[in-house]
Structure 1
Amino acid sequence: MTSTQESSEVTPPALAVRGSSSVEERVTRIRRRLERLIGIAATEGNSLTVLRNGDEIFAAMLAGIHRAEHTVDMMTFVYWKGDIARRFAEALAERARAGVRVRLLLDGFGSRLIEAEQLRTMERAGVQVTWFRKPLHLSPLKQNHRCHRKVLVVDEETAFTGGVGIAEEWCGDARNPHEWRDTHVEVRGPAVDGIAAAFAQNWAECHEDLFDDRDRFVEHRPQGESVVQVVRGSASFGWQDMQTLIRVMLDSAEERFRLATAYFSPDAYFVELLCATARRGVEVEILLPGPYTDKRVCQLAGQHYYEDLVACGVKIYQYQPTMMHAKVVTVDHVAALIGSTNFNRRSLDHDEEVMLAVLDQEFTATLDRHFDADLEVSELIRAGRWKRRSAVQRVREVAVRPIRRFL
């Protein structure tokens, strides 16, 4: 397990590459831009722990559930099959039998593969299981807008969010193609309220009781030094908060912008924004899935832009060992984004998402160190070689263009 405290030995590189502002000025500028343009105040006094891959993530989440004394609220897009799915079902059921109020919100599409026996185990124990927008029960318009948020809140005091779903694919430590690479974060402090609000927003759509006498509405005492803004993206029409969040980070970068994402299928606007960021002298690095991806169509849609991006100076890397599923951004060694949002049209336009905007050098240094480790086992897309890609590859890229907005 890697925490912001454990990363204190990592000294971020000097921030004077462009010489335009100090660390404090950069932090203040990014914070005020985010607060002003998104309209959500950042909270101070948070403690964040980075969790890398399933071995760390699932252990921490299950430990949190087992410690629960009052409430457990959990929502996920993916809840599939296997031993880890059974362990979560049993942990939630055990807490419900012990008198803890346990609520589980499952996306009606993403969690459709959950085993019926696991549902029966939880429901018999008293877990309140609710489905978000089950297909066939909705208009075609609503069926396209899914709940992609991953949230676990324990006793209103500890929260988890990130990219992980409840399935065997995320188990392990990214040692082989069967163990996906992902990042989650454990949060303590005032930011827990924002994460809990993401759960409450989707729960309110599906359940008549928003809260009950088990909710204590606790006051949060300072737990650490991280400044955190919790940003929720909701499905609707027009410009979304997630788009604003990404744009602020790109426009604020002075030295380096790093992006790790499972699904890369931006529109032309964001492709040009990435290029503009690189052209003004910022080092732009993008880490994407390579040979292992569960959505080849989405990968093809993103690959259509590789040539333009590389020509602008953007560095694109493809992760080789397994599926890269993390959703992480770091900016100038001082700011980071982490949560459920991918850099694709589906996350930015269609789905319910949640992201943490974090201002903390040590936390960002930990994520940057993980990014560096991932680059060591990734392949750089080289301009000349990519231009010589096969005609079949080019035809596939063009073929998926009509459906890019749904990917």
Structure 2
Amino acid sequence: MDRCKVVGDNAFSFSIGHIEILHALHKALSSARHYIFIEMYLVERGRAFQWVYALLEDASKRGVQVFLLLDDFGSRPVLRDLFLSHALPSNIHVAAYNPINYRRWTRNFHRDHRKLVLVDGEVALVGGFGITDDFFPQVPDPGVPLPEKTIESTGQEDRAAWLDVAVTTSGPVLVDWDRGFREIWRESSEIVLPLGRAAVKGGEMAGRAAFGWGWRKQDIVRELLRRIKRSHGSLRIITPYFVTSWRVRRALRWAARQGVKVQIIVPGLTSDHPGVTYAARRHYRSLLRAGVELFEYQPTFIHAKVYICDDWCSVGSFNLDHWTYRWNLEANQEVWNAEFTTQVAGFFEQCRRKSRAVTLASLNKMGWYSRLMVYLMGKLDELLIRFLR
């Protein structure tokens, strides 16, 4: 797919945390009249999937055509359940992206890591969340109203949830989101999708659908590097995995030395992959010496992928790691709007206040176990880079 253009006349809204994302999902899926496209990497058995599937069943009873495109690695057990189900409604269609086949070896590494919900060609949700109980630990029973809470809640249920965000989109940019889904669906299923609907004006904001297609086709990171090189005020990043390329690290150091305020939030050891945090720490010293500010989020696992540069921001599924660069299909919503970017920056500040600052002094105080893990995980990451090449 070619690089998408920046288009105007869109509306974007920002959802923070599992409750707000659930509300956005409920509103979008409940409003469906024609079709629903869902593209997900991680979908697991549990209350969250039951809640979403109940909404899809309700939509199918209204005559809505539902198309579920799930990655065969990240959602394998759920896909097996759906394919074996004898009670699957006739207008709910399921496809698996790149089914695992051990004879193909490295071809199995290509995964669909996107998180996209598109309804009637009129509204889309783009983010980094999966449909699992880790993201949505307090899902009510189907039909029960959702609780009214935000990220500022202090309850145990909010601390337990993986923290993520989503962008709800309407306007002409949906044409590219629709096209991106259709291209991958055609690779995965012979079922013909309904005709797309003409996008209408949604608001006054400019935005762009940004895609990643694997090796040397990561338009998202190219745009990020372009933004870093053109930054003049501040650059803020939230990423759950910070084992990024030398080009990105060099660009971040260069921006900090030019006087740009560069701040990065990553998880602490509260992560689904603590080894990645250890591997990332081997690069902290060079970044800190260049003037980059680093923070490790403390309350829970922060899974959000947020990139903010001046009045531009990008939110979606794209991680700063080697697997993303080399193998994954990715999708981010980019927005050129000062007001919206200020709102996203407000989320960054909320997270920064709940994070522990990483300093050269704190790195020097690491115990022997942490130092050993940084060394071992760093070597493992180097081997992975050589393998991916």
Same fold (TM over 0.5): yes
In the alignment, what sits opposite 1:103?
67
Counterpart CA distance in 1 for 2:113 and 2:56 is 21
Q: Are 2:60 and 2:89, in contact at CA under 8 Å, matched by a contact in 1? A: no
Q: Secondary structure at the match of 2:166?
A: strand
Task: Return 5+ residue gaps in structure 2 as ranges.
Answer: 139-149
* 1:280-304, Cα deviation, whole Å (9 max, x unpaired): 1100000111131001122222111
How far did residue 117 of structure 1 move?
A: 5.3
Q: Are 1:317 and 1:378, in contact at CA under 8 Å, matched by a contact in 2? A: yes
Give the residue type in structure 2 aligned to 1:375.
R
Give the residue type in structure 2 aligned to 1:126.
N
Report 1:4-153 matches (<5 A): 39-114=3-78, 120=85, 123-136=88-101, 139-153=104-118
1:376 and 2:356 are equivalent in the alignment: no
Describe the shift of the 1:390–1:368 C-alpha distance in structure 2 as closer, same or farther (beyond 3 A): same
Give the residue type in structure 2 aligned to 1:130.
A
Report 1:2-401 matches (<5 A): 39-114=3-78, 120=85, 123-136=88-101, 139-171=104-136, 175-176=155-156, 177-212=159-194, 215=195, 217-236=196-215, 238=216, 240-332=218-310, 334-399=311-376, 400-401=380-381
Q: Cα RMSD between the aligned structures? A: 2.1
TM-score (norm 1): 0.85
Q: Secondary structure at the match of 2:203?
A: coil
Counterpart CA distance in 2 for 1:382 and 1:146 is 36
TM-score (norm 2): 0.88
How far did residue 403 of structure 1 move?
A: 4.3
Task: Return 5+ residue gaps in structure 1 as ranges.
Answer: 1-37
Of 322-331 and 292-301, deviating more is 292-301
Give the residue type in structure 2 aligned to 1:180.
W
How far did residue 46 of structure 1 move?
A: 0.3
Corresponding residue pairs, total: 365
Counterpart CA distance in 1 for 2:191 and 2:86 is 23
Q: Are 2:268 and 2:298, in contact at CA under 8 Å, matched by a contact in 1? A: yes
Q: Are 1:250 and 1:257, in contact at CA under 8 Å, matched by a contact in 2? A: yes
Give the residue type in structure 2 aligned to 1:362.
E
* 1:347-375, Cα deviation, whole Å (9 max, x unpaired): 22220001122100111011011111111
Counterpart CA distance in 2 for 1:292 and 1:138 is 36
Describe the shift of the 1:283–1:210 C-alpha distance in structure 2 as closer, same or farther (beyond 3 A): farther
Q: Are 2:114 and 2:317, in contact at CA under 8 Å, matched by a contact in 1? A: yes
Percent of aligned pairs sharing the same letter: 24
Give the residue type in structure 2 aligned to 1:344.
D
Q: Secondary structure at the match of 1:59?
A: helix
Counterpart CA distance in 2 for 1:197 and 1:68 is 19
How far did residue 397 of structure 1 move?
A: 2.2
Q: Secondary structure at the match of 1:123?
A: coil
In the alignment, what sits opposite 1:3?
none
Counterpart CA distance in 1 for 2:318 and 2:165 is 12
How far did residue 137 of structure 1 move?
A: 5.8
Q: Secondary structure at the match of 1:114?
A: helix
How far did residue 231 of structure 1 move?
A: 1.2
Counterpart CA distance in 2 for 1:396 and 1:226 is 45
Describe the shift of the 1:138–1:359 C-alpha distance in structure 2 as closer, same or farther (beyond 3 A): farther
Of 313-322 and 340-349, deviating more is 340-349
Counterpart CA distance in 2 for 1:121 and 1:95 is 19
Give the residue type in structure 1 aligned to 2:125.
F
Give the residue type in structure 1 aligned to 2:168.
E
Q: Are 2:79 and 2:96, in contact at CA under 8 Å, matched by a contact in 1? A: no
